[in-house]
Amino acid sequence: MGAAMPDPRFFLTSAPLSLSEALRLAGAETSATPEGVVTHAAGADEEDLAGAVAYVDRQERAPAALSRNPALLLAPMPASPGAVGVKDPRAAFAAVARALHRERTLADGGPAPQLGAGAEIHPTAVVGPGVQIGDGVRIGPNAVINPGVVIGAQTVIGPNACIACAIIGAEALLGPGAVIGAP
pLDDT surpasses 80 at 3:
no
CB-CB contact of 144 with 163 (8 Å): yes
Compute the mean pLDDT over every residue in the chain, rounded to the nearest whole number.
Answer: 93
Q: Which residues contact 29 (CB under 8 A, 6 or more apart)?
A: none
In tens, the pLDDT along 8-37 reads: 999 999 999 999 999 999 999 776 678 899
Asked whether residue 16 falls in the same domain as residue 89, the answer is yes
pLDDT band at residue 2 using 50, 70 and 90 as cut-offs? very low
Instruction: Decide: helix, strand or coil at residue 27.
Output: coil
Asked whether residue 21 falls in the same domain as residue 86, the answer is yes
Asked whether residue 161 falls in the same domain as residue 117, the answer is yes
Asked whether residue 92 falls in the same domain as residue 127, the answer is no
Residue 97 pLDDT: 96
CATH number of the domain at 137, please. Answer: 2.160.10.10
Asked whether residue 53 falls in the same domain as residue 17, the answer is yes
CB-CB contact of 176 with 158 (8 Å): yes
- What separation in angstroms does the CA of 49 have from each of 21, 41, 73, 165, 178? 19, 9, 9, 23, 36
In tens, the pLDDT along 127-163 reads: 999 999 999 999 999 999 999 999 999 999 999 999 9
In tens, the pLDDT along 87-104 reads: 999 999 999 999 999 999
Asked whether residue 164 falls in the same domain as residue 90, the answer is no
* Nearest one of 182, 143, 153 to 166, comparing CA atoms: 182
CB-CB contact of 108 with 12 (8 Å): yes
Single residue among 54, 71, 103 that ends a domain in this structure: 103
In tens, the pLDDT along 108-123 reads: 989 999 999 999 999 9
104-139 burial, b at 16+ Cβ within 10 Å, e below that, comes to beeeeeeeebebeeebebeeebebbbbbbbbebbbb
CATH number of the domain at 92, please. Answer: 3.40.1390.10
Query: Residue 29: which domain range?
Result: 11-103
The pTM assigned to this predicted structure is: 0.81
